[in-house]
Each structure stands twice: as structure tokens, then as C-alpha cells.
Amino acid sequence: MNPTDPVEPPDELAGQRALADSDAGLARVTEDLIDILINRGVIHFTDFPPAAQAKLLQRRQTRATLSKRLQLLDDGDHGLI
């Protein structure tokens, strides 16, 4: 932080954090809504601009990879505790 930058009050920082958390949750809701609309045939994946398609595909791949890793961790801990 630059010493000349204004210091934000703690409640304003908490508000910004809450907004960022809310944005992340809303992004997931939006992704789920897009999937539902595609599955019901209301919209097509190709209706989205190429940049949006790329972002959606990247998030799907990242979630699938993370899910597989979590399953591997879960499968390997039987009987340890």
C-alpha cells in the first residue's frame, strides 16, 4: 500500500469482501442457470460469444479436475481414523 493512499475504514473493507464473496457465489449460480437452460433447449452453447464459450469451458474443465482430485482424496482415506 502506498502511504499516500487513503485508508479504507474496516467496515468498508468488510463490505468489499462480502461483495467479492457474493460475486463468486453468483457466478456459480449463473453457470448452473446456463447449464439448465442449455439442457432444456432454451439456449444453445453456440449462442454465446466465443470468449464466453471459452470461459465457460475453462471453468467446467477446472471444476471437473478439482472434483476428480477430491474424489481421489476421499477414496484413499478409508480406515485411517
- Cα–Cα distances (Å) from 72 to 3, 4, 60, 78, 80, in that order, read 47, 49, 18, 11, 15
> Do 55 and 78 fall within a single domain?
yes
Confidence class for position 25, pLDDT limits 50, 70, 90: confident
CB 19 within 8 A of CB 13: no
Tens-place pLDDT, residues 27-42: 889 999 999 999 999 9
> How far is 17 from 65, CA to CA, in rounded Å?
27
Q: Domain containing 13: what range? A: 9-44
Is residue 16 in a domain?
Answer: yes
Question: Is residue 2 in some structural domain?
Answer: no
Predicted TM-score (pTM) of this structure: 0.63
Sign of torsion over alpha carbons 46, 48, 51, 52 = negative
- 79 domain residue, yes or no: yes
Residue 5's pLDDT is 63
Q: pLDDT of 5-14, one tens digit each?
A: 666 667 888 8
- Report how far residue 4's alpha carbon sits from residue 6's, in angstroms, rounded to the nearest whole number: 6
Work out the average pLDDT over 67-77.
Answer: 74
| Domain count within the chain | 2
Does 29 share its domain with 55? no
